[in-house]
Structure 1
Amino acid sequence: MKRMVVLSILVLMVSGQPAVAHASHTRPSTYVVSTTPGETLEGIEVTRDGTMYVTSVGTGAVYRGSTSSPRLKLFLPAGTDGRTSATGVHVDRWGRVLVAGASTSKLFLYDARGQLLVVREATPGSFLNDFTITGDAVYVTDSANNQIWRAPLTRHGLGELKPWLTRDQIQPIPYFLNGIVTDGRTLLVGEQGQDVTYRIDLLTKQVSVLEVPNGILSGDGYLLEGHHLYAVYNAGGGKYVTRLALLNHDLTKATLVADSSPGAAGATPTTIARDRGQLLWVNSQLDVAPGTPPYTVSVVPGLH
């Protein structure tokens, strides 16, 4: 230790610059979200400061932690506010946490402390799965009715949920709408029944199928970064991968670029988020639900 201090001082004297300690900041490769039986995780959000939120479709609990720490803590207890199931989760630009309530047919808005601000309800029997946020609204996929709901979102709060695009307005007819992302002008929506991605114009509501000439692109969870689209894809036979596609300028065509390595056997990855130079996905264990604790999030293998 003394030798290191002396060397640092010598560097400072010779260079005239401060000596900088290059400490290792290695982050975990696996995060333990919960050890509670039956949790069955589903959604994930990682903010710019490294705060991670993970939802439980099994109980409705929401967990929160830091990407620098291997353990998350309970943020919203299971069943509170009528939230007995939870899927999509995102943080808006005002720091509020939105949670899709899956089979509860509800969308929840919380402040950063976990205080409930408002609950908005869709038609009973809806399954509010995933959602994406534009500058002034939230668009939510309904996997039961295979339609898209919309609610205004401003600094003053969350407006009422109303049907925005119904099943009969989407061709080919969807059977299981799931992942959804936006660039502010266009929605990209995953349809897992037919393994396609819809491209929907936010202004005109015009629907088309994203052209993918070199393969199949659909997804449970999507991540859009500029013209790079990541999709958690069920490759069949219990093998799940994250698929990376490069989009053209108007998001009408995608070229598949790479696949990650498959998730672990029985892990059933669902949704995906970015943490600086790495990708994280949720190991839901849905294929073997309710699965076996611990329930985890891990780094996507072989893809950044």
Structure 2
Amino acid sequence: MSRSIHRRTFLTGTAALAVATVAATTATAPTAVAATAPRISTAFTLPGDRAYPEGIALDARTGDVYVGSYTTGAVYRAAAGHRRAEVFLPAGTDGRTTANGLKADRAGRLWVIDSTAGIDVYDLRDRSLLARFEVPAGDARFVNDLVITADGTAYATDSARPVIYRVTPDEVTRARGGRAPLTTRYDLSGALPPHPSGTYALNGIAADPTGRLLFAVDMTGGGLYRVHTATGAVRQVTLNGGDLVNGDGLELHHRTLWAAHNATNTLTRWELSPDGTTARLRRRLTDPALQIPTTLAHTRQGLLVVRSQFDKGGPMGPGVPRTPFTVARVTGL
């Protein structure tokens, strides 16, 4: 059944965009900054003049990259080493009108979020729909981003409700191509600060290598929250040197956490403490060339960053986007 696209609310930020601003939390000689300054280039292009990409997924088995269209529900694939992506799942596939959060797991499955409905799971080999996990009808929802932990369990945030959903591998198997409810696992309402009604909060989510700890960002309040998957205990991470206002996608590699701040065209790099209770800002990059970054993926060649251009005729404002839409590669951050 056709559904209208739920238009996403973003903070605009109070600071004007600085061109190619790089900041470190420790003093560094000018020559050293110049030598290690981040570089932004184009990794690959996307087809279509209304793609408005949002989510990204890296298939670690093949090196292929998948990107979802927020405005059409299409999913694109950029084969490893290729500079141009192709349509993998056409717009409207299985009734999906938007595709935001994406992840590829070790079992060869692609997880695609439809923010207005739930999560679709596909077999990457034949593109068949393996399962659909739906938010119960009537619930306010904006399913936003997800992460797959080491044991194959998926966790997803909801921006309209302060909750995290969970889907286990056994639930995917039991669904057998059918539908199943998307159930809440953790409620963060007691940890997040109060926000006005209608404000979007939880957004990007990441997990430590063991899968014992989840980290979710409150894009409005600017906080980062740690969830212990075994006990359900939630605590706010102490941020030293900055905040995560406008925080969208997160990427965690060992103890290095990267965040995309959409409305301010910013990427930040943080160092987490061993227990994940504190994070220190190590570097910030602000540059209009990021074109409203929404999500990112870590590779050996640098960060892949989705350039959404949501402010150019998309969900953040009027205008005309620069085409083709692209995914950036950022090195040195």
TM-score for the superposition, normalised by structure 2:
0.76
Q: Is the 8 A contact 1:51 1:67 kept in 2?
A: yes
SS at match of 2:289: coil
Report how far residue 289 of structure 1 moved: 3.1
Choose from 211, 222, 225 the match for 1:195. Answer: 222
In the aligned structure 1, how far is the partner of 2:111 from the partner of 2:273?
A: 30
In the aligned structure 2, how far is the partner of 1:145 from the partner of 1:167?
A: 9
In the aligned structure 2, how far is the partner of 1:73 from the partner of 1:93?
A: 22
Report how far residue 186 of structure 1 moved: 0.9
Report the aligned-residue RMSD: 2.0
Q: Alpha-carbon deviations, 1:178-227, whole Å to 9, x = none?
A: 00011111110010111111111112212111101222135200000010
Choose from 261, 277, 281 the match for 1:233. Answer: 261
Choose from 164, 167, 180 the match for 1:151. Answer: 167
Q: Is the 8 A contact 1:120 1:160 kept in 2?
A: yes
Show the 5 A alignment for 1:28-47: 29-34=42-47, 36-47=48-59
Shift in alpha-carbon separation, 1:296–1:157, aligned structure 2, 3 A: farther
* 2:250 paired with 1:215: no
2:261 partner letter: Y
In the aligned structure 2, how far is the partner of 1:116 from the partner of 1:100?
A: 13
In the aligned structure 2, how far is the partner of 1:199 from the partner of 1:85?
A: 28
- Pick the structure with greater CA Rg: 1
* 2:329 paired with 1:299: yes
Unaligned runs of 5+ in 1: 1-27
Aligned to 1:116: 129
Q: Is the 8 A contact 1:99 1:109 kept in 2?
A: yes
Report how far residue 169 of structure 1 moved: 3.6
* 2:143 paired with 1:128: yes
- Structure number with higher relative contact order (C-alpha < 8 Å, ≥ 6 residues apart): 2
Q: Alpha-carbon deviations, 1:228-287, whole Å to 9, x = none?
A: 0011124xxx5312111111111000111112342417x111100122131110010112
2:51 partner letter: E
2:327 partner letter: V
* 2:314 paired with 1:287: no
TM-score for the superposition, normalised by structure 1:
0.83
Aligned to 1:66: 79
In the aligned structure 1, how far is the partner of 2:191 from the partner of 2:184?
A: 13
In the aligned structure 2, how far is the partner of 1:136 from the partner of 1:32?
A: 30
Aligned to 1:57: 70
Shift in alpha-carbon separation, 1:98–1:301, aligned structure 2, 3 A: same
Identity %: 35
Unaligned runs of 5+ in 2: 1-40, 315-319
